[in-house]
Amino acid sequence: MIKRKEYSIKSTCTKILYIHLIILFSAVSIAANKGVVIDVTKYGAKGDGITLDTKAIQKAIDVAATIGNGTKVLVPTNHKYCIGSIFLKGNIEFHLQGNAQLLVSTNKEDFSGQAAIIANEADNLKITGTGSVNGRALEFMTHYDTAKEIWIPKDWRPKLFILTKCKNLVISTITIEKSAFWSLHLLGCENVVIDGVKIRNDLDVPNCDGIDPDHCRNVEIRNCEISCGDDAIVVKATKQEIDYGSSSNIWVHDCWIETQDSGLKIGTETTQDIYNIVFEKCTIKTSCRGLTIQLRDEGDVHNIIFKDISFMSKFHSDPWWGRGEAISLTAIQRTPETKIGKIYNVLIKNVKGIAENSIRINGTKESRISNIQLQNVDVTLDRWTKYAGNLFDNRPTKAYSPIEIHDTPGVSIRYADRVILENCSISWGKNSPYYFSNAIQATDASGVEIINFTGQSANPQKFIAIDIPKL
């Protein structure tokens, strides 16, 4: 049974790697008209950080789009350009030269869309350079709540990027900083390469996600450095009026992450299928959940690989979802009326970390999780933050208790079938509270196999090491 599952997952991985080659070919094959450069300052952009340069930059973009063929829109170095909403077009390269900075306006009237930088059906678009986009996050906040340890947003705040239905999209080496809301939202895009992007947001600003591929296909995210308050890299399928299709064939690798929410995540929005996703060779410096799948809606999540990842996960203040889970796979209805899909065929391999809470494989009677394989997973559980433990975080849900009082085993398996732990280990740190319990605990689970496991109960007088009752 183990060999059959490994073959299936490896076959999926091979297919995805083949798709990666297609992605790279698509990116490389985008034509570039190196002889044509449109300088935004030639169209009236002042770059003094005060004058609104939206119209001038937009005019330069529009002129470049009429030429096409990869014409470069140059945003010159050593200047700050104040913008509201600008709309990028296809067949151009939008280049932030040197230390050029796009400085987001704080006036809502300067925005004709929900973001500072917008593209709709802009095929063969490149966004390049070493310059930055500054979202001025704290200027969109009312105050800092010291009790909740979080900034409180004003009624309105823009995203930085919304790129919709773009094909053959390349985003490379730019810096995104101080986003007040989602940083880089890709909606219904195909054949995307995001390479060497730096995201540097305030860790206490809510909803300032890093990169959100949403209903996207054939996406590679590589060599990125992300520091943000909310989910760092999160694959979604949000509820939309338009059918943008699945999220599939996405490869995330060689990224460095710091966040107060999930490091590498699928969900919470899962209204359509999400599949063929690989996260590998990443370092999560800190998070509130290391590796996460949150299924809350009707889509299925399957053929997922987390591989060669190190992480740290800890508790944060209550407004932040997550309670320090090392790995969290949950399938929980959003509401009692929600039709919910399934999580199945997940491989977690060569993963090592320290966390304040369990590895959770947590389905429900409405949606059992199946075909989960952990190989060479080494997790140490300890407590070092000030926040209350003895909890599982089920949010967002109205069908079950959002915050559940629960002891803390190394691995918690509930409402799951065919779960294999091979060459895995659970260790306990110096600070083991009374609620640290079994090394492995299973409830309403079938087909659980333990192969070459290392780990003991945190409290042998109270809990056995491995507690797997038969159904």
By percentage, how much of the chain surpasses pLDDT 90? 92
* Class (C level, CATH) for 2-30+135-467: mainly beta
Averaged pLDDT for residues 77-86: 98
Query: Does the pLDDT value for residue 18 go beyond 80?
Result: no
Strands 247-253, 262-270: pairing is unpaired
pLDDT at 17 over 90: no
- pLDDT category at 344 given cuts 50, 70, 90 is very high
The reported pLDDT for the residue numbered 172 is 98
Tokens 């947001």 belong to 201
Average pLDDT over residues 245-258: 98
pLDDT in tens, 53-72: 999 999 999 999 999 999 99
Q: Is the pLDDT of residue 109 over 70?
A: yes
229 pLDDT exceeds 50?
yes
State how far the Cα of 247 lies from the Cα of 277, in Å rounded to an integer.
9
CA-wise closest residue to 272 among 249, 302, 238: 238
HSE of 340 in the Cβ direction (CA atoms, 13 Å)?
Answer: 25
pLDDT at residue 404, as a whole number: 96
Taking only the tens place, the pLDDT of each residue in 359-408 is 999 999 999 999 999 999 999 999 999 999 999 999 999 999 999 999 99
Determine the average pLDDT of the residues in 420-426: 98
pLDDT number for residue 32: 56
Question: Which neighbouring-strand residues pair with 219?
Answer: 192, 250
pLDDT of res. 33: 62
3-state SS string for the chain = CHHHHHHHHHHHHHHHHHHHHHHHHHHHCCCCCCCCEEEHHHHCCCCEEEEECHHHHHHHHHHHHHHCCCEEEEECCCCEEEECCEEECCCEEEEECCCCEEEECCCHHHCCCCEEEEEECCCCEEEEECCEEECCHHHHEEEEECCCCEEEECCCCCEEEEEECCEEEEEECCEEECCCCCCEEEECCEEEEEECCEEECCCCCCCCCCEEEECCEEEEEECCEEEECCCCEEEEECCCCCCCCCEEEEEEECCEEEECCEEEEEEEEECCCEEEEEEEEEEEEEECEEEEEEECCCCCEEEEEEEEEEEEECCCCCCCCCCCEEEEEEECCCCCCCCCCCEEEEEEEEEEEEECEEEEEECECCECEEEEEEEEEEEEECCCCCCCCCEEECCCCCCCCCEEECCECCEEEEEEEEEEEECCEEEECCCCCCCECCCEEEEEEEEEEEECCECCCCCCCCCCCEECCCC
pLDDT tens track for 312-321: 999 999 899 9
Q: Which residue has the higher pLDDT, 319 or 125?
A: 125
Looking at residue 168, its amino acid is N
Per-residue pLDDT at 260: 95
- Residues whose CB is less than 8 angstroms from the CB of residue 286 and which lie 6 or more positions away in sequence, other chains included: 258, 259, 260, 312, 313, 314
pLDDT computed for residue 34 by the predictor: 65
Q: In Å, what is the CA distance from 121 to each residue of 164, 247, 292, 348?
A: 6, 17, 30, 35
pLDDT the model gives residue 35: 77
Residues of the chain with pLDDT > 70: what percent?
93
Q: What is the mean pLDDT of the chain?
A: 94
pLDDT confidence of residue 395: 96
Domains of the chain by residue range: 2-30+135-467
**pLDDT tens string 136-191:** 999 999 999 999 999 999 999 999 999 999 999 999 999 999 999 999 999 999 99
Average of pLDDT values for 225-247?
A: 97
**22 has pLDDT over 70:** no
Structure confidence at residue 338 (pLDDT): 95
Rounded to whole angstroms, the Cα distance separating 440 from 418 reads 15
Given a cut of 90, whether residue 30 has pLDDT beyond it is no
